[in-house]
Structure 1
Amino acid sequence: MLFEDRGTPHTAEDTLILADKLKIEIRLLPTATPELNAMDHLWKSVKGRALANRPTENIDISADEACHHIIGMSRHQRLKAAGVLSDNFRLAEYS
């Protein structure tokens, strides 16, 4: 199961066909609820810690640094950064 916002890339017919082919169930988050998107919170953390205060001169290098930052985090750190451990995290209500 994959939770996504309602952005065009996530609702496009080709995306939905591929997800079905790969047996991935897509659940769309309610409109205007960015607090439910754990990836947005995790990305904010990565930007602030791994990529801040310097220009992106090469997207491949920046993407690699972001990935290494996430991989270097413990499971608990990733969940905390994503907001999943917050008392206000209510994604389970939409599953």
Structure 2
Amino acid sequence: MKILKTKKQKIGSLLMITYNLLGLVGVLGLLPKDPFYWDSTYSGCLILLTLPVSLVSFVYHLVGNSLYPVFIIQGIVLILSLLFINDLTKEKDDC
């Protein structure tokens, strides 16, 4: 299995990494005690925009006390979404 073989795969992976990082910033800026806190209106809009990749970490962040599992959850979601994008954009063999 060759990863990032085509230009479409590289662009898709870059867009997915950016999308996931936007979701992470949205989750980390939600509550006033968070390190990246900013106006919750913008953070809420960012979470709604990136809901497919930030839903699990958003729920855990509201329930849990630590931020480290949020990073781990977002890392796992990033790996899964990169594998999905790689599979979605791979070229079909003519066999």
TM norm structure 1: 0.30
The structure with the greater share of residues assigned to helix is 2
TM norm structure 2: 0.30
Q: With CA pairs under 8 Å and 6+ residues apart, which has the higher RCO, 1 or 2?
A: 2
